[in-house]
Amino acid sequence: MRNRMPVDVIKERYTTKVGEVTLGATKAEGGTRSHTITVGGDSTLPFLHFEGEVPNRPVIAMEVQDRVPEWSEVVKKPFADVIGDPAAWAAKCVKEYGADLIYLKLASADPELGDSSPEKCAETVKKVLGAVGVPLAVVGCGVDAKDNEVMPVVAEAAAGENLLLGVAKQENYKTLTAACMVHKHNIIAQSPIDINIAKQLNILISEMNLPLSRIVIDPSVGALGYGIEYTYSIMERMRLGALTGDRMLSMPVICAIGYEAGRAKEANAPVSEFPGWGDLAERAVMWEAMTAAAFLQAGGHIFVLRHPRSVELVKRSIDQLMRK
């Protein structure tokens, strides 16, 4: 029998890599976090370990809100004992469910959902910081005018903590960018599933002298069955741009999975309406976990999830993908 010749694996060679962003600050660095987390740094397409380095594993941020959210009962059930207290809710996410980060949404600032003052929102952020040691991402209510009042106060109250603050949009980025610059936080740059807008927004933010190493891209992902293919292609193009020298697409990516998956009909419709779809509790979890699994392969770095079971499943997937 003839000896077989060794086969050379053809490897793609890239000129650059995804930039790194570090979240949180320890006491030695001027903050109060027990540790910091760095995301990004990939020098290859997602998890192709034979072609390049994937130095930092993707991380899970569990979503917490400062008011009882209008989520499905399936998703709210694991937090029934703490859902009215964001600090206790955050602590449960970390201690019981292993969240790497807390993603705190200040939903009560919405003029139609409580109209909480900037000072009250800042106090909530400080309470959550006191309850957990992991780094925090903090986002406003989504009403631009109110967020422009709230987020600078939050940024000042948490100065030194190196938070990830959001969201900055093309029409409304200057106030938040300035707050991140003054108080030394990172920023979430959100675009509507459009690679050109994502790039332009990063240019605008960097022109205000916020370093690229403090920007995280939110491409506004779609859920399984609700635009996931298009978002996947946008994220794929972003990664290729980062690896071929486009500095304005070289930032890590955050994916708001829980929000998008939670809006899907399949994750909410009761069995009585669609008996063939199976158990609702299982469906809701799987819709979130499967959406996250797809965007892991597309190049996401931070995954914002809601249900503890989804967190467990996605962490298991990350473990497997990080094996060289």
Q: Over 80: is that where the pLDDT of 7 sits?
A: no
pLDDT at 177: 98
pLDDT at 5: 64
For strands 20-23 and 136-139, give the pairing.
Answer: unpaired
Least confident of 52-61, 201-210, 266-275, 311-320: 266-275
Q: What is the CATH number of the domain that holds 39?
A: 3.20.20.20
Query: Does residue 9 belong to any structural domain of this protein?
Result: no
Spatial distance between the Cα atoms of 161 and 154, rounded to a whole number of angstroms: 11
Q: How many CB atoms lie within 10 A of CB 170?
A: 16
pLDDT at 87: 98
- Nearest in space to 198 (alpha carbons), one of 216, 180, 223, 185: 216
For residue range 9-31, list pLDDT tens digits in order.
Answer: 788 889 999 999 999 999 999 99
DSSP code for 256: -
Query: Does residue 300 belong to any structural domain of this protein?
Result: yes
Query: Does residue 2 belong to any structural domain of this protein?
Result: no
pLDDT at 3: 64
Q: Tokens in use for 210?
A: 């916020």
Q: What's the Rg (C-alpha) of the chain?
A: 20
Give the residue-averaged pLDDT of 225-244: 96
3-state helix, strand, coil in the chain (%, to 5): 45, 15, 40
pTM: 0.96
pLDDT at 279: 93
In one-letter notation, the amino acid at residue 206 is: S
Query: Does residue 268 belong to any structural domain of this protein?
Result: yes
Domain count, the chain: 1
In sequence order, the 6+-apart residues with CB closer than 8 A to the CB of 194 are 234
Give the residue-averaged pLDDT of 177-182: 98
Tell me phi and psi for residue 166, to 5 degrees: -155, 175
For residue range 107-154, list pLDDT tens digits in order.
Answer: 999 999 999 999 999 999 999 999 999 999 999 999 999 999 999 999
Q: Over 80: is that where the pLDDT of 250 sits?
A: yes
Q: At what angle do helices 280-298 and 308-321 cross, to 10 degrees?
A: 30
Q: How many CB atoms lie within 10 A of CB 1?
A: 3
pLDDT at 9: 76
- Report the greatest alpha carbon distance in the chain: 80
Q: Over 70: is that where the pLDDT of 260 sits?
A: yes
- Chain centroid offset of residue 308 CA: 16
Structural domain of 305 = 20-321
Tell me phi and psi for residue 301, to 5 degrees: -120, -35
Instruction: Please give the mean pLDDT across all residues of the chain.
Output: 96
pLDDT at 95: 98
Q: Which residues does residue 189 pair with via DSSP β-bridges, in sequence order? A: 168, 217
For residue range 271-306, list pLDDT tens digits in order.
Answer: 999 999 999 999 999 999 999 999 999 999 999 999
pLDDT at 1: 52
pLDDT at 324: 86
pLDDT at 10: 81
Q: Over 70: is that where the pLDDT of 2 sits?
A: no
Strands of the chain (E only): list them. Answer: 20-23, 37-40, 59-65, 101-105, 136-139, 164-168, 186-190, 215-218, 254-255, 302-305
Q: What percent of the chain has pLDDT over 70?
A: 98
